[in-house]
A and B are shown apart, each in its own frame.
Chain A
Amino acid sequence: MGELKGWKELIPGGIIAEAGNAREYKTGDWRTEKPELNLEKCINCFFCWAYCPDNAVIVDAEAGKMVAFNYDYCKGCGICASICPAKGAITMVEER
């Protein structure tokens, strides 16, 4: 969120006057568990990429390779781990 503003600096009515600012809200800090990736076991099927509700799976489309999770926006829902057909490629671990 960056530096929090004082009340005098705010636009009246709680209006957000710029478009496309959802990316500034790092929802990753809602997470209690995070997915850990084991690239050696990953079969690059992209199921996690397709199912992730937060667009938080980073892939290299040209190379056809799974790259990483984007922890700024991953809320730790666990859908990727649950849908993953390659046993042990994605493990949910407690966030510390």
Chain B
Amino acid sequence: MAKVVGFNGNAAVAYAMKQINPDVVAAYPITPQTDCVERFAEYVSEGVVDTEFVTVESEHSAMSACIGAAAAGGRVMTATAANGLAFMWEMLYIAASMRLPIVMMVANRALSGNINIHCDHSDTMGARDAGWIHLFSENAQEAYDNTIQAIKIAEDLGVRLPVMVTQDGFIISHAVERVEILEDEEVKNFIGSYPKRYPLLDLEHPVTYGPIDLFDYYFEHKRSQIEAIDNCLPVIERVGKEFEKLSGRQYGLLEGYRLEDAEYAVVALGSTCGTAREAIDSLREQGKKVGLLKMRCFRPFPRESVIKALSPLKGVAVLDRSVSFGGFGGPLFTEIRSALYDAPSRPLIINFFYGLGGRDIYPEDIEKALGKIEEVAKVGKIEQHIDYLGLRE
């Protein structure tokens, strides 16, 4: 019988970090992630982990220290949010380019300005092209489970890429929920010992990290990075299956909810998927054939799984909790719509922006989105591609 505890998302991730027992954690506090790093710092001061905790003066330094420690040959973790993630910007690209398997929890929070501490996905969506794997969590349980799986995915010798595990700021990070935890030994055995590759501290085999890379080789290195992140989809699936054996909880690249016979669906990330389940159950009771596609893995984008899940549908409403200013729709919409372009059949697709700066989303909002796409599909023509939920006119 699994042990059940009351944890908020931050506590769940801090507990996972305790069980992972990384060699190095370098982190700087920022709301709503602070609580996670504080809890982990307590584990360090209590001596229940062997981690070298580096208190840095900024997030730029946090990621720099993580890069140094990972290149040296350590298992490395950190956490941040919003402007902290933005401040790591250049280092995020360097971590991925050097193929360092750093695992970072991000408590999704709106980027300034104006200043706001609540949830939206503008922070990690802004970092979507940095070369990291992005795993979204629907609740504290998934934040815990994803953190443990992220270690195994990142460190796989066929992957060797950093992973961001996200959870919606405050909505998940600060809400206490029922969380099933694994035994320390189970986590230890699941992740195994850290498989080192080209560690700087191997003095018998000296290596150079981060040499200058100009027009002669930079392009080839980027091409190999493209290959690396594309190739990690099967690893994410395999680790999900192994984790299911251990925990009984299922993890894939994405998850369909009541999608098998659905005609219309919403696509969402993070905690909104929980809200959507509620709305879908209620609409199903009224006889509406509706479902949800939850994207767990956003980077790499699981194109084929998305086509398989969505191409039989009549209409899809994509919910974006961040804006790509001046773009045609939000980041999730753009990806989904592009993936379906050459699908054998494709649904009509509309985009809803919602929840910016932590604005609540209600089941009625999701019902409205599903109602709208049904209406559009019946007319057979999209008059307005982009709309808003929960916005005052």
Binding site for B on A (CB under 8 A): 1, 4-8, 10-17, 19, 21
Smallest CB-CB A-B distances: 4 pairs: A13-B99, A7-B220, A16-B208, A19-B206
CA of A7 to CA of B220, assembled, Å: 5
Q: Which A residues are in CB contact (< 8 Å) with B224?
A: 7-8, 10, 12
Establish whether residues B98 and A14, one from each chain, have CB atoms under 8 Å apart when the complex forms: yes
Question: A6's closest neighbor in chain B, by CB?
Answer: B220
Residues of A near B211 (CB, < 8 A) are: 14, 16
The residues of A that contact B205 with a CB separation of less than 8 Å are 17
Least CB separation from A1: chain B residue = B216
Question: What residues of B have a CB within 8 angstroms of the CB of A11 in the complex?
Answer: 198
B→A interface (CB under 8 Å) = 97-100, 160, 198, 205-211, 213, 216-217, 219-221, 223-224, 227-228
Whether B221 and A14, one on each chain, are in contact in the complex, defined by CB atoms closer than 8 angstroms, is yes
* A-side interface mostly: loop
Residue numbers in B under 8 Å from A17 (CB-CB):
198, 205, 207
- B220 & A15 in contact (Cβ 8 Å cutoff): no
Q: Does the CB pair B216–A15 fall under 8 Å? A: no
Contact B221 A10 (CB under 8 A): yes
What CA separation (Å) do A19 and B213 show in the bound complex?
A: 17
The reply to whether A4 and B208 contact each other, CB–CB distance below 8 Å, is no
For the complex, what is the distance from the CA of A13 to the CA of B198, rounded to whole Å?
10
CB within 8 A of A15: which of B209, B219, B223, B228? B209
* Least CB distance, B71 to chain A, in whole angstroms: 9
Residue contact A14 to B207, C-beta cutoff 8 Å:
no
Chain A neighbourhood of B97, CB < 8 A: 13-14
Minimum CB–CB distance from B207 to chain A (whole Å) comes to: 5
Q: Known pairs A7-B227, A17-B207; list 15 more (Cβ under 8 Å).
A: A5-B217, A7-B223, A7-B224, A12-B99, A12-B224, A13-B97, A13-B98, A14-B209, A14-B210, A15-B198, A15-B207, A16-B208, A17-B198, A17-B205, A19-B206
Measured between beta carbons, the chain B residues less than 8 angstroms from A14 are 97-98, 209-211, 213, 217, 221
CA distance A32 to B144 in the complex (A): 59
